[in-house]
Structure 1
């Protein structure tokens, strides 16, 4: 008999996905208090989330590493960013690394919960890694009105990127999260959870999640664990209330954001039986429409991109030219290093710095 798992509960990994500030920490905090295991160590609480994140530190660190390599932001509005992270997801060493990290945590508990706002960028990798450990991956995507997500990020993260960018990144994130979590053979189920439902009646919402995903820890939770969650839940967590109209978005982005939210809320309503081929096609059309909108915006703003690149080049040249120690930058480079640089390259650098030599020098 397995002392860790005497009841023979099948291995499962609950992946809690969704945009940051959507209630992912609340859901992960609930299921962990009901007995599911968040691999340790966890990310410590901070002022933006004083009740804790329920995020494994290792997961956050590896996601930061991969996002930096892919040159992708956590809130990235570029549709092409998914191709950049997708290349990492397809790497065999990355899949092995994640599955080897997951494996020993099943010695603690057969049902794990993995949550991180960066998770959606690498869901394909995590799905494969979980299956390789003999676990069934299941998915819960948190849904919060996009205007509230934007407002919460601006309030708690001092985000200066602007409402249009944050709304666009929300659309980009949620449309691709929907696509990445669609059920496939042998890959488990998914649910979509409205943040408002979780705060209004967490017991009903969480128990429905447990039954839908066949999470034995949730289905057979104890009364003392339920009391602990009651102490954890703060009905006033929803401190930002605003609408899309308050964001002043460009018309087409406003329409796409509203339509995406409407379709996602259908997925959160099991009475509609919404997780069907028909709604999948609708989401595919929304992703295509968003890609078209983004490409149009890129084409129109090309001059801004070029200007920013030129500004960056000018700043770099100014920093190279800056003589903080009373010496030219070139004088700070050892002679043997300068001697190894081809003459044509040295001439190019001097030209860029405006220090071309007269003929014969």
Structure 2
């Protein structure tokens, strides 16, 4: 494809980590779209590569830390914290300035990161400011497989209930954040469909979103993707029953998965499904707030235990010793010259006295 005259677009690949986002972004890249360099290098959890820009990952890590939000955060309120950052003008300027020069390489970019959904508003604004149309692909993989994959490859110790709740939180809010009344700026893709027939699935993405690199790709690039796709990439298979979830969480997860699957069907992204997903999002928020309200004692106990552990492992304070265990009112009666003499003899001058001596 000759990129001259092709309108600017940014394909944002969203969804929970371990749901096939790397596979989708990798296919788009191999068919001609551009992943801004440098990319995150492959590792044992994803030997075929992540197809995600290192700058984007580093940015999201910093922003999540600033917001006090985890990558797999199950709190509905976490979206408010990341949303506040997404509306800051300095952040928008920074992302816009990063995007702009990459269009010199190719007019169609791919931006993917498991943390991306937390800042979709930020990226949407930045893309529009560069004159590019933001379009979205959200990957769908059964929640039990996502949870199992995270536990296997990320050594996640937070438990199945937490990881399932974070999947619910992520997918329900990602769906709402990418919703477009025109219905032409997003596509939902089942990971299973991508592995089973990547050509049909990817061409549907390209045609729906108007991605010229995919629609007009070359035969040699198609052969390259055939070599890239491996049906055994789906290395974790499990069901919700295997997770032994609390009944209400199990019910909400099953209902949400059923409704999200409808969005991946032809002509399935309709108002009736949106309404049901809105109701499920409200129901999850209610469940979380109820659980949070009755678990305050656990939170306080964990905080106390953490403080005790930190105190037990903390190194002794500088200058600590026998003299510092003497009550303050007793030490105050000792003449300053005597106190300084004792510290000097012990080689423990106060930092202020030492710095004054250097001056």
SS of alignment partner, residue 121 of structure 1? helix
Task: Tell me the equivalent position of 1:42.
Answer: 39
Query: Is the 8 Å Cα contact of residues 123 and 180 (structure 1) preserved in structure 2?
Result: yes
Task: Tell me the equivalent position of 1:219.
Answer: 215
Deviation at 1:100, TM superposition (A): 0.5
Report the Cα distance in structure 1 between the residues aligned to 2:45 and 2:351, rounded to whole angstroms: 51
Task: Tell me the equivalent position of 1:284.
Answer: 278
SS of alignment partner, residue 46 of structure 1? coil
Deviation at 1:85, TM superposition (A): 0.3
Q: After superposition, where does 1:1-361 map in structure 2 within 5 Å?
A: 5-6=3-4, 8-183=5-180, 189-270=185-266, 273-320=267-314, 322=316, 327=321, 334=350, 336=352
- Residues 212-270 of structure 1, C-alpha deviation per residue, up to 9 Å, x if partnerless? 00101000000000000000000111111100000000000000000110000000001
Query: Is the 8 Å Cα contact of residues 37 and 109 (structure 1) preserved in structure 2?
Result: yes
Deviation at 1:164, TM superposition (A): 0.3
Deviation at 1:276, TM superposition (A): 2.0
Deviation at 1:313, TM superposition (A): 2.4
Query: Is the 8 Å Cα contact of residues 137 and 188 (structure 1) preserved in structure 2?
Result: no
Unaligned runs of 5+ in 2: 325-342, 354-359
Query: Is the 8 Å Cα contact of residues 22 and 144 (structure 1) preserved in structure 2?
Result: yes
Deviation at 1:274, TM superposition (A): 2.3
Report the Cα distance in structure 2 between the residues aligned to 1:99 and 1:32, rounded to whole angstroms: 21
Query: Is the 8 Å Cα contact of residues 184 and 208 (structure 2) preserved in structure 1?
Result: no
Report the Cα distance in structure 2 between the residues aligned to 1:54 and 1:261, rounded to whole angstroms: 26
Q: How many residues align?
A: 330
Query: Is the 8 Å Cα contact of residues 139 and 188 (structure 2) preserved in structure 1?
Result: yes
Q: Using a 3 Å threshold, how does the CA distance of structure 1 residues 233 and 320 change in structure 2: closer, same or farther? A: closer
Q: Using a 3 Å threshold, how does the CA distance of structure 1 residues 107 and 161 change in structure 2: closer, same or farther? A: same
Query: Is the 8 Å Cα contact of residues 85 and 122 (structure 1) preserved in structure 2?
Result: yes
Q: Using a 3 Å threshold, how does the CA distance of structure 1 residues 10 and 324 change in structure 2: closer, same or farther? A: same
- 4+ runs deviating over 2 angstroms: 312-337
RMSD, matched Cα: 2.1
Query: Is the 8 Å Cα contact of residues 320 and 329 (structure 1) preserved in structure 2?
Result: no
Deviation at 1:333, TM superposition (A): 9.8
SS of alignment partner, residue 10 of structure 2? strand
Deviation at 1:314, TM superposition (A): 2.3
Q: Using a 3 Å threshold, how does the CA distance of structure 1 residues 316 and 194 change in structure 2: closer, same or farther? A: same
Q: TM-score, normalised by structure 1?
A: 0.87
Report the Cα distance in structure 2 between the residues aligned to 1:72 and 1:96, rounded to whole angstroms: 22
Report the Cα distance in structure 1 between the residues aligned to 2:314 and 2:160, rounded to whole angstroms: 36
Q: TM-score, normalised by structure 2?
A: 0.88
- Residues 178-224 of structure 1, C-alpha deviation per residue, up to 9 Å, x if partnerless? 00001157x96100000000000000000011000010100000000
Report the Cα distance in structure 2 between the residues aligned to 1:51 and 1:57, rounded to whole angstroms: 16
Deviation at 1:324, TM superposition (A): 9.1
Report the Cα distance in structure 1 between the residues aligned to 2:149 and 2:306, rounded to whole angstroms: 31
Task: Tell me the equivalent position of 2:335.
Answer: none
Query: Is the 8 Å Cα contact of residues 148 and 238 (structure 2) preserved in structure 1?
Result: yes
Deviation at 1:327, TM superposition (A): 3.7
Query: Is the 8 Å Cα contact of residues 321 and 328 (structure 1) preserved in structure 2?
Result: no
SS of alignment partner, residue 187 of structure 2? strand
Deviation at 1:329, TM superposition (A): 11
- Residues 109-132 of structure 1, C-alpha deviation per residue, up to 9 Å, x if partnerless? 000000000000000110000000
SS of alignment partner, residue 134 of structure 2? strand
Deviation at 1:304, TM superposition (A): 0.4
